[in-house]
Amino acid sequence: MNQDTAVTPAEPQGWRRAGRRPSLPEAYRSLKIPKHASRFRKFLAFVGPGYMVAVGYMDPGNWATDIAGGSQFGYALLSVILLSNLMAVVLQALAGKLGIVTGRDLAQACRDHYSKPVNYALWFLCELAIAACDLAEVIGAAIALNLLFGIPLVYGVILTAIDVLLILFLQNKGFRYLESFVIALICVIALCFGAELFLSQPAIGEVMKGFVPTQEIVTDPSMLYIAIAILGATVMPHNLYLHSSIVQTRQFDQTETGKRQAIRFATLDSTIALFFALFINAAILIVAGAAFHTTGHAEVEDIGEAYHLLAPLLGTGLASVLFGVALLASGQNSTLTGTLAGQIVMEGFLNLRMPAWLRRLITRLIAIVPAVIVTALYGEKGTTDLLILSQVILSLQLSFAVVPLVQFTSSKKKMGAFANRPWLAAVAWTITVLIVALNGYLLVETILG
C-alpha cells in the first residue's frame, strides 16, 4: 500500500479521531495535477467531479416537477429553478471544500463528530435516501425503455440491474474513464434538449421574463406548491457526500496554498457543471411550457404523457425520440453516481468496506424489488406514485445532510483558516433554514394529499 492509500494522519483540531482511512481508497489521489503547467491546464485536471455531482440535479426525479411547472404555469417558475441552482452552487462548493481541507468526506466527518447513536441514525437516513434516489432512477430508465422500445415496465425495471456490469467495467478502467462517460451522457442530454428547444420555438422574451421572480409564485397556492417541489427536489443529499469524497481523487499539494488552489478549481468545476444542470432543467420546463401550456394542455404531469404529446404538438416524431433518449441517459447517469455515493456513505459512516459489485447489487435490489411489485400490480400509475414517494424521502433526508455540512465548514476548530467567512456562513445558514422549512412544508402537504 503506497503513501496515498494508507491510513493518513490528520491534525486532531476539532475532530475526535486523529486519523482516518482515505475516502474511496481505490481512486484516492489517483489523478495527478501538473505542477509546472498553466492555470488553465491545472483547472482541466480538476474538471470531472463537478459533472458527476451535476448528474443528481437532472435525474428523472426532477423531470416530473419541471414538466408540471411548465405545463401549468408556462415559464413563470424558471426563477425558482435559477434560485435552486444558486443554492446548489453554494452547498456543493462547501462540500468540495470540506473534502479538500479535512481529507474527510461528509460521512467520515459525521462519524468523527457525532456520537454513535446519532451517527447510525444519520447513516440509516442517508441509505434510505440513496435507495429512494435509486428507485427514481430505476423507474426513469424503465419508463424510457418502455417509451423508446416498447419494453414492458416490469422487464425494463429488471433490465436496469445490468448496469452493475457497466459500472464495474468503468471503475476498473480508472476514475477518469468514469468521469468521461458521465460527461458524455450529460452532453447527450444537453444536445437532445437543445434540439427540443429549437423544435418547440419558445417566445424568447417570455422565457427571459420567467427568470425574474413574481409575487404570484407566493400568492398562488398551486404555483407555490410546484415551486416548493422544484426547490425541494433539486439539491440531492447524496451529492454532498459524493462531492466531498471525489474531490480527493486529485493529487493537489497538501499545503495551505495547494488546498486554496484546489478549492478554487473544484468550486469553478462544480459551478460550471451546475449551470449545465440549470440549462437542462430550464429546458425541460421551457419545452413543457411551449408545447403544453400554450396549446391548452395544462394538466400534463406524467413523463409518459409528455413523451406521447410532444410529437403531435411539435409536428415531428423526432421530438418524442429525443425526449426518450435524454430520459434514458439521465437515468443511466444517475445510477453511476448513486453507486459511488452508496459506497462512500457506507464506508464513511460505518468504517465498513465491501466489494463494489456487492454494494451496488444490494442498493439495486432495494430499489428494484418495490418497483417490480408496484409496476406489476398497478402499472404506470403506480410507478408515477413511487417516483413522487422517492422525492418525498429525499426531501426528508436533505436537512440531515445540509446541517452537518454547514456546521463543519463554519467551524474554525475543524477548518482552521478555511472556515466559512461570516458572510458565507450567513448565506449557508439562510439556505439551510430555507431548505428545512420548504422540505418540511412539502412533506406535510404531500402526506395530506
Query: Residue 332 has what pLDDT?
Result: 80
At the top level of CATH, which class does the domain 41-447 belong to? mainly alpha
pTM (2 d.p.): 0.89
Q: In sequence order, what are the residues at sequence separation of 6 or more whose Cβ sits closer than 8 angstroms to the Cβ of residue 48?
A: 175, 176, 179, 180, 183, 246, 269
Task: Read off the pLDDT of each residue in 246-274 and give the average, rounded to a whole number.
Answer: 95
CA distances from 438 to 80, 114, 216, 241 (A): 13, 26, 17, 21
Task: Read off the pLDDT of each residue in 49-56 and give the average, rounded to a whole number.
Answer: 91
Closest CA to 127 of 105, 150, 107, 101: 107
Q: What is the dihedral of CA 172, 177, 178, 184, to 10 degrees?
A: -150
Query: Residue 94 has what pLDDT?
Result: 97
Query: Residue 360 has what pLDDT?
Result: 67
Residue 154 has pLDDT above 80, yes or no: yes
Query: Residue 188 has what pLDDT?
Result: 93
At residue 363 the predicted structure's pLDDT band, cuts being 50, 70 and 90, is low
**Residue 1 in grid coordinates:** 500500500
pLDDT > 90 fraction of the chain, expressed in percent and rounded = 41
At residue 433 the predicted structure's pLDDT band, cuts being 50, 70 and 90, is very high
Contact 396, 439 (CB under 8 A): yes
Query: Residue 2 has what pLDDT?
Result: 40
At residue 4 the predicted structure's pLDDT band, cuts being 50, 70 and 90, is very low
Domain definitions of the chain by residue range: 41-447
Query: Residue 21 has what pLDDT?
Result: 79
Task: Read off the pLDDT of each residue in 201-212 and give the average, rounded to a whole number.
Answer: 93
Query: Residue 1 has what pLDDT?
Result: 38
Residue 341 has pLDDT above 80, yes or no: yes
At residue 96 the predicted structure's pLDDT band, cuts being 50, 70 and 90, is very high
Query: Residue 12 has what pLDDT?
Result: 43
Query: Residue 232 has what pLDDT?
Result: 64
**Residue 40 in grid coordinates:** 488553465
> Any long-range contacts for 13-18 (C-beta under 8 Å, 24+ apart)?
13/413, 13/414, 13/416, 14/411, 14/413, 14/414, 14/415, 15/102, 15/104, 15/109, 15/112, 15/113, 15/414, 16/112, 16/113, 17/112
Mean pLDDT of the chain: 84
Residue 287 has pLDDT above 70, yes or no: yes
Residue 120 has pLDDT above 80, yes or no: yes
Residue 297 has pLDDT above 90, yes or no: no
Query: Residue 139 has what pLDDT?
Result: 80
Task: Read off the pLDDT of each residue in 327-351 and give the average, rounded to a whole number.
Answer: 83
